[in-house]
Amino acid sequence: MKVLIVEDNRELAENIRGYLAREACVCEHGYTYGEAQDKIAAYQYDCIILDIMLPDGDGLDLLEFIRTRKAGSSVLIISAKNALDDKVNGLELGADDYLTKPFHLPELHARLKAIYRRKNLDGDHVVSFNEISVNTATLEARVNDALLELTKKEFDLLLYFLINKNRVLTRQSIAEHLWGDYADNLANFDFVYQHVKNLRKKISAANGKDYIGTVYGLGYKFNTHTA
Amino acid sequence: MKLVNKFALWYLAMTSLVLLAGGVIVFRSVQHENDEEEVRRLRGRIEDARRMLKTGTRPDSLQSPNIEITEIDLAAPRIRFHVRDTMGWHSKFQGTERQIWATASYTIHGHHYAITAKDFAPEPEETLRGVVLSLSWIFFLLLVVVGLTSILISKKILSPFNQSLRVIQAFNLKQKEPIRLPETRTDEFKTLNTFLGKMTDKALHDYRALKEFTENASHELQTPLAIIRGKLELLLESGISDEQARLILSAHEAIERLSRINQSLTLLTKLENQEYEPHEPVNLSTAVHKTIFSLTELMEMKSIALETDIEENVFVKLHPALTDILLTNLFSNAIRHNHEHGTIKVKLNAGSLSIQNTGPRPGIPTEQLFQRFRKSNQSGDSIGLGLSIVKRISEVSRFSVCYQFEEPWHLLKLDFTADKLSVAR
């Protein structure tokens, strides 16, 4: 997957690049409006991560530029402005998703993958690892072809783990992924523990391997190297 | 009451006092002058009678209803001129009238005569009636003149003032243009307008600066927070020891907290800047159902029973973005401060929304719960801004909010009727 990161803050762009680099994503940077515009005009990207507050222009204008070029790139807006209007404007102008800063890198990654799957309609809706496969179109999860009875939240959780394999997922990041804004008001993370426990139980019951492990007692990790 | 009417009323009150006092003075002096005049006339008549007697005129021929001459003992002491106020029969009016008698005695040609002159005089009541009548007319004329002029004057002189008032009433901090005040030649209004102009300009400027600062602060703080968070997440991925991981995760949690506090404070500032005017009425019933639905799972996890009594299609004037924040705050509070197997009761009708939940006794006085960073449990995970946000949202939406604790029930009640009243007004 080829990704263009349009973000004026180099450190933040570097964070994103660092995280995505391990996922076999080719990342390029555009630190300014002009730089980004040049790159979009010259190259083809699968996905563009777009900060709408740029030093030399409005990211929303850039969004229009991307749309008029019919480049076929998906656009994920990242913004520090939590303003409702910006969100609505951005989505109306054809952005595929909107993420408010500060975001969790696994969350950004999951969103990116999700819009990538949605865009490539002929592409695969199945995310799989060994005996576990998740179909994002039919919302079915299988272990060795046996259908798992998962709740919506458990399904989302499994997908989140599969996309962020071998990554430490903090409880906050999981809570925010599953509950969105509501997680803000629920500083108690017992419910994350509950969901992870149920998911592990269901996978084991279907004779799947227990890939999900607790990390440092504070987060979780989907280990592909489990013996 | 209008300023002009106040002036007119005070003026009339003062005038009536003055007229009353003036009436007494007029009455007194008229009465006094009348009596003086009468006495002088009577004295003149007695003088005339005495002169006639001296010239040898017989006392009988001088007798008349108005003058009475009697001869008294020569040895009797001489009667000095004196006046008596009495009542006498008035043959023409067929009634008793006020009469003044003046008497004096003189020794003339070896006889001692007592001469009494009488005359009818106007009674004080009659004088009074006249005075009251004329003063009433004056008062009536004043009333008409003052009333008319006050209306005209208020129109003319106060018109710049009223215009300034209208401009100020229409003033909105969010407007881009400075206000325009009418030209006036009255010094006081000129001062007032200059002051108003300066004040609103300053308010506009400060508001803009504050708004800008809020936006910048939010943006400028969120970006470094995002960087730190990302770096910590990347650090977690690298080969680190358990001890290091624990340190990183604690730092990570602190960053989360910081970011939540920043977001909440930004929201509070925006609320204080009144960036969210309540506009369209929203269907609160639907919103409550939605919030309950999204939090059902959390309630189940704590085995909390929910009892609802929700009237359908309750509309209140509230900003849609605030509706979500308000309800989520209220319900998650009710869940967080609940205990296992507790209960939440929700009641919504056209007048109010009340949420009751079981839970431990609050650790701080209930009136402090709405203050920022006041938490019942200081070491808890919550950042202590939830109820401040609820209160602010209620204020900008013109609701009243109150909290009560009656073992074991915590009750938070939002009253919309204050809003309804202001709408009706």
Yes or no: say if B314 and B284 are a contact pair by the CB < 8 Å rule: yes
At B420 the pLDDT is 47
Query: Which has the closest alpha carbon to A25: A51, A5, A53?
Result: A5
Q: Tell me the CATH number of domain B189-272, given options 1.20.58, 1.10.3470, 3.40.720, 1.10.1330.
A: 1.20.58
pLDDT average, residue stretch B123-151: 87
Interface test with B, best of A54, A184, A223, A224 (most B CBs within 10 A): A184
B263: contact with A, CB 8 A cutoff: yes
| Of A116-125, B130-139, B277-286, the least confident | A116-125
pLDDT digits (tens, 9 = 90+) for B349-396: 888 899 998 888 877 777 777 777 766 665 455 667 778 888 888 888
pLDDT average, residue stretch A59-76: 83
Q: Which of A15, A186, A219 sits opposite B249 (nearest CB)?
A: A219
pLDDT average, residue stretch A47-70: 84
Q: Tell me the CATH number of domain B281-424, given options 2.60.40.10, 1.10.3720.10, 3.30.565.10, 2.30.40.10.
A: 3.30.565.10
At B29 the pLDDT is 92
pLDDT digits (tens, 9 = 90+) for A22-48: 877 888 998 998 888 898 888 888 889
Q: Do B246 and A170 touch (CB under 8 A)?
A: no
Inform me whether the pLDDT recorded for B112 exceeds 50.
yes
pLDDT average, residue stretch B247-254: 85
pLDDT digits (tens, 9 = 90+) for A193-224: 888 988 999 988 888 888 888 887 678 888 88
ipTM at complex level:
0.78
Chain A residue with CA closest to B264: the answer is: A184
At A84 the pLDDT is 58
pLDDT average, residue stretch B227-249: 84
B262: contact with A, CB 8 A cutoff: no
pLDDT average, residue stretch B163-185: 83
Contact residues on chain A for B259, CB-CB shorter than 8 A: 102
Chain B residue with CA closest to A164: the answer is: B237
Q: Which of B226, B329, B335 sits opposite A101 (nearest CB)?
A: B226
**Greater pLDDT, A181 or B75:** B75
Inform me whether the pLDDT recorded for B425 exceeds 60.
no
pLDDT digits (tens, 9 = 90+) for A108-121: 999 988 888 877 65
At B340 the pLDDT is 86
pLDDT digits (tens, 9 = 90+) for B285-301: 999 998 888 888 778 87
Ordered by start, the domain boundaries in chain B are: 3-144, 189-272, 281-424
Structural domains of chain A in order of their starting residue, each with its CATH number: 2-119 (3.40.50.2300), 126-222 (1.10.10.10)
Q: Do B335 and A186 touch (CB under 8 A)?
A: yes
Q: Do A12 and B252 touch (CB under 8 A)?
A: no
B306: contact with A, CB 8 A cutoff: no
Inform me whether the pLDDT recorded for B422 exceeds 70.
no
Give the helix, strand, coil percentages of chain B, each rounded to 5. 55, 20, 25
Yes or no: say if B314 and B348 are a contact pair by the CB < 8 Å rule: yes
Inform me whether the pLDDT recorded for A122 exceeds 70.
no
Query: Which has the closest alpha carbon to A169: B240, B252, B244?
Result: B252
Sequence-distant (≥ 6) Cβ neighbours of residue A200 within 8 angstroms: A210, A212
**Greater pLDDT, B184 or B175:** B184
pLDDT average, residue stretch B39-48: 90
pLDDT average, residue stretch B151-162: 83
Contact residues on chain B for A170, CB-CB shorter than 8 A: 233, 236, 249, 252
At A184 the pLDDT is 59
Measured CA distances, A77 to A61, B7, B283, B338 (Å)? 12, 65, 30, 38
pLDDT digits (tens, 9 = 90+) for A132-188: 888 888 888 888 888 888 888 889 999 999 888 888 888 888 888 887 766 655 555
* Token couple for B374: 């006041």
At A83 the pLDDT is 60
Inform me whether the pLDDT recorded for B421 exceeds 70.
no
Rounded to the nearest angstrom, the minimum Cα separation between B329 and chain A is 7
Query: Using 50, 70 and 90 to split pLDDT, how confident is the model at B424?
Result: very low
Give counts: helices (H), strands (E), chain B.
10, 11
Q: Do B252 and A170 touch (CB under 8 A)?
A: yes
B408: preceding bond cis by omega (within 30 degrees): yes
Mean pLDDT over all residues of chain B?
A: 84
